[in-house]
Structure 1
Amino acid sequence: MPYPEQRGNKWRVRWNTGKKHPESGRWLYDSQGGFDSREDAIAYGLDRESDIRNQRYTSRRDGAIPMSEYCRTWQQTLDVGHLRRRNIESYIRLYIEPHWGGMAVADIRPSAYRAWELWLKDQPNIGDAYRNEILLVFSMMMDDAVDDGLRQASPVPKRKRRGRYVKKKKERKRNLRIEDVHQLACNALQYWGLPGYVFQFMMPFTGMRPAELYALRREYCHPAWPASDPLDDPNEEDREERHADDLERYGPGLMPAARVQWQHQREGGELRLFPPKYGSRRTIVLPAFLTELLEMLLASHEFEYVFPSINGGRLADANFTYSYWRKIADGVEERQKSEKGDGRTGSRRWLPGWTPVKSWAGKRMYLLRHGHKEWLDDDGHSRIAVETRMGHEVAGVEGLYANVTPSMEKRIAEALQRRWLEFVRTLPEGWEPPSSPSPLPVDLAEWMKLQVKAANALLG
């Protein structure tokens, strides 16, 4: 029963919250004042007691926790990867806590949330994807606040029906042309040498992610793998059984392949090896021409990673997009050797200059991975084989029952090889590779002649 009390010409009501003080063991009470009559105060108290019995009640004491405090507490409950944690902490530090930190968790209203959402939308430095991530994190915080008993309901609408319909922007993509892929490889050859030439074929012909390519170690790549597999991933519980299967299925004389086991990411400013995105460890069979290029490349150096940088170090230590990809795709003008460097990259070496690949000027390199899936779909391969190769999981019963067979992988490798051979037949007679910043350890021109010969023999 609530307890009404008269305060001057107004009434106040107190009610038992059903909770006890953790130290003294005494019952905890909430109160509300400002009622004009005793009956109104009692009715309000009875409603609150009904909420308590039906587990709809949020204590004023609990709901008064400031958002600044809840932000710190909530971050301690996250069980996510280090990159995701870093992003979430950034959203909270830059946008959530500065706006909501001074308010109590229970005082955030749906109308205030909608106003904040529109404010974020108006900020020129916040793109759609970034804004959606901020709102998603805030929505997660409010859902957890409900579970913690700090609110009765989240202020974030579950199904947004208000406002004008805005069509989701979709990045414009062109069909991936192998002619463009080869031109990118030739540009990389002039800038980076043989590692660049081979690197530019990897993403469109394997679908590997950039960070996976940076961290591809020679013991996980053809021709050494799978015999050289160090089995050094402690989080891969079935690695012994998997390795035994790999020895029967892959390798020189069977199906040449590369193993996606690690990716390079930074944690606390230190470059480290992490499992690939979504834990998508996988084996990727290689077309014949790419196995030959990898064999030549790995025979030309002794670095632990397949693709050394221009200065012989780790690719992940560089800003690859700026220092490599933009120059390869957008082209550069001829540059003479500089005595003091160019002021930004510090490079003093001569560059011959090359024209941009028009369809890739200004485009991000990741679209080459999209193009790989485009090729696989165009060739009509099994969906489970395609998605597994891309590092995706197929949901539902289809993913549960399906399995990638050796014949599926063999057909993918053969289709990619055929696509390559159909292209090399179109090269002008006597094709010569462009100049390289360092002497090539192999004769690419002679190798290409053999590729053309193989194409003519296979395709007639």
Structure 2
Amino acid sequence: MGRAHQDVYVEWRGGTCRVKWWTGERLANGRKRFESKGGFTDEDEALAHGLAQRVDIGRGDHVSNRDGSTLMSDWLDYWLASLDHAHLTEKGYRSKVETHIRPYFKHVTVGAIDVIAYRAFRKHISGTVAPGTAKNIMMVLGMILDDAVPKLIKVSPVERNRKRGKYEKKTKERKKDVLPEVVERLALNAEIFFGYPGYVFVWTMATTGMRPAELYALTREYCYPAWPAEDPRADADETERHDEDLTRYGKGKGLMPAIRVERQVQHENGELRFFPPKYGSYRTLVVPPFLADMLEKLLASHDSKWVFPAKWGGSLGSVAFDYEYWRPIADGRDARIAGVDGARKSRAVIPEVPTFKGKRLYLLRHGHKAWLDEDGHSEFAVETRMGHEVRGMGGVYGSMTLAMERAIMKSLEKRHTALRKRLGGMGN
């Protein structure tokens, strides 16, 4: 046996020595549990290493050999089981872990993931997926590795706000102005594709900025003219808000037509279910008179519980809307389609909309914000309507006033009136 000091022991084996140190833990039989490291050729160096481990143990940031050898795959199981987030957030994290992170690090220990391994994965993923997806995957990996400190690794290898490496300018999605004429063409295309619900769906998104999943989830009781009189009032803590809504919104003299955003639809375990709106952004959206008339006409035309039923009558959330509905609406389609027997069958032509060809449905929501900004509405009114949290003192002291809501209604109605004059008719 070589040197010993403060529960640290150095012993020689052949031409090298190893150091043993007490972990601060005891075995079931009461004896101290030691860990060790070998391969030293200098006794002083070995002792210094052991003493450093004891200092780390005293500070509480020591990583034991046992913990450091934990497989990344095992840590991912533990990390996923600890998640407590909204359904869509957790679903997104799990997808990134199972699709990208676990396969890459499957046989690697957490302790082996240093800054070089982190960079190698970042380079790998950057060449595999789109830049935005890669950024999100690296964000999730960063959380996983940060949470491994100090139990499994002493310091996280995640690099943040670094200037080293090749500069890459962020690419921004190109957008074109969403003119009312463009919205009308999209609405007419949607009407060709799935009837009057399609026409009103497009105008509702363009003039409320609702997220697609919120529109898919909209049911009669939360839509004008039923809301707020038919509100189920599921939350007893919202009594004051409900009572005020009845004096502010609805159908009647002095009341403003409005939609209440209370939920969105998403799939969970293969079943379409209601969830709170994104970021818990419950909100009331006043609608311009022309849209109020459309909504009333639409709900009188069908008996579905969904305000915007799919072609088969169910929720639009049950269909692959972006592919099955939106692409023909935005990109157009020709007049014929192959039948089961190979014969060509006729169908209505849908003209393409150049502004939105190949573009996302979500840009209608972006267009709504641009309209509000152009019309000079306050940042608080705009961000609140979009379902965003208003940060800083503006969020603390600001509120959506009656005057703000009436101004929004007026400016949206003015846009539509000008459109109808330019088109030379009243339309739908």
What TM-score does the superposition give when structure 2 sets the normalisation length?
0.93
Shift of 1:37: 3.4
Contact 2:339/2:345 (<8 A) preserved: no
Contact 2:17/2:41 (<8 A) preserved: yes
- CA distance in structure 2 between the aligned counterparts of 1:209 and 1:193, rounded to whole angstroms: 21
Query: Residue type of the partner of 1:120?
Result: I
Question: Of the candidates 181, 185, 200, which is equivalent to residue 179 of structure 1?
Answer: 181
1:245 alignment counterpart = 244
Residue by residue, what CA displacement relative to the aligned partner does 1:410-433 show, whole Å, maximum 9, x if unpaired? 1000110011111111113xx5xx
2:413 alignment counterpart = 417
- CA distance in structure 1 between the aligned counterparts of 2:20 and 2:361, rounded to whole angstroms: 65
Contact 2:40/2:46 (<8 A) preserved: yes
- CA distance in structure 1 between the aligned counterparts of 2:193 and 2:345, rounded to whole angstroms: 10
Residue by residue, what CA displacement relative to the aligned partner does 1:52-81 show, whole Å, maximum 9, x if unpaired? 233342111221111111111111111112
Instruction: Tell me whether 315-324 or 266-275 shows the greater mean CA deviation.
Output: 315-324
Contact 2:260/2:283 (<8 A) preserved: yes
Identity score, percent: 47
Contact 1:190/1:351 (<8 A) preserved: no
Contact 2:214/2:277 (<8 A) preserved: yes
Shift of 1:39: 2.6
- CA distance in structure 2 between the aligned counterparts of 1:333 and 1:297, rounded to whole angstroms: 28
2:3 alignment counterpart = none
Residue 9 in 1 paired to residue 15 in 2?
Answer: yes
**Structure 1: 5+ residue runs without aligned partners?**
432-447, 452-460
* 1:383 to 1:37, Cα distance in 2 relative to 1, 3 A: closer
Count of aligned pairs between the two proteins? 420
2:85 alignment counterpart = 80
2:350 alignment counterpart = 354
2:73 alignment counterpart = 68
Secondary structure at 1:238's aligned position in 2?
helix
Shift of 1:87: 2.2
Structure 1 stretches of 4+ with a deviation exceeding 3 A read 23-26, 338-343
Q: How does 1:42-61 map to 2 (within 5 A)?
A: 42-61=47-66
- CA distance in structure 2 between the aligned counterparts of 1:20 and 1:370, rounded to whole angstroms: 61
What TM-score does the superposition give when structure 1 sets the normalisation length?
0.87
- CA distance in structure 2 between the aligned counterparts of 1:264 and 1:422, rounded to whole angstroms: 35
Residue 132 in 1 paired to residue 135 in 2?
Answer: yes
1:442 alignment counterpart = none
Question: Of the candidates 193, 210, 213, which is equivalent to residue 211 of structure 1?
Answer: 213
1:456 alignment counterpart = none
Question: Of the candidates 187, 193, 196, which is equivalent to residue 194 of structure 1?
Answer: 196
1:400 alignment counterpart = 396
Instruction: Tell me whether 320-329 or 256-265 shows the greater mean CA deviation.
Output: 320-329
- CA distance in structure 1 between the aligned counterparts of 2:42 and 2:383, rounded to whole angstroms: 68
* 1:354 to 1:34, Cα distance in 2 relative to 1, 3 A: closer
1:33 alignment counterpart = 38
* 1:339 to 1:159, Cα distance in 2 relative to 1, 3 A: closer
Instruction: Tell me whether 218-227 or 49-58 shows the greater mean CA deviation.
Output: 49-58
Residue 291 in 1 paired to residue 257 in 2?
Answer: no
1:282 alignment counterpart = 283
- CA distance in structure 2 between the aligned counterparts of 1:193 and 1:103, rounded to whole angstroms: 55
Shift of 1:349: 7.9
1:374 alignment counterpart = 370
Secondary structure at 2:423's aligned position in 1?
coil
Shift of 1:350: 4.8
* 1:39 to 1:189, Cα distance in 2 relative to 1, 3 A: closer
Contact 2:192/2:348 (<8 A) preserved: yes
- CA distance in structure 1 between the aligned counterparts of 2:341 and 2:182, rounded to whole angstroms: 31
Secondary structure at 1:386's aligned position in 2?
helix
* 1:397 to 1:19, Cα distance in 2 relative to 1, 3 A: farther
- CA distance in structure 2 between the aligned counterparts of 1:43 and 1:224, rounded to whole angstroms: 76
Instruction: Tell me whether 6-15 or 221-230 shows the greater mean CA deviation.
Output: 6-15
Residue by residue, what CA displacement relative to the aligned partner does 1:171-221 show, whole Å, maximum 9, x if unpaired? 000111001111111112222221111111011101011111111101111
Query: Residue type of the partner of 2:374?
Result: D
1:154 alignment counterpart = 156
Question: Of the candidates 114, 123, 129, which is equivalent to residue 118 of structure 1?
Answer: 123
**Structure 2: 5+ residue runs without aligned partners?**
1-5
* 1:242 to 1:25, Cα distance in 2 relative to 1, 3 A: farther
RMSD value, Cα: 2.0
Contact 2:328/2:350 (<8 A) preserved: no
2:167 alignment counterpart = 165
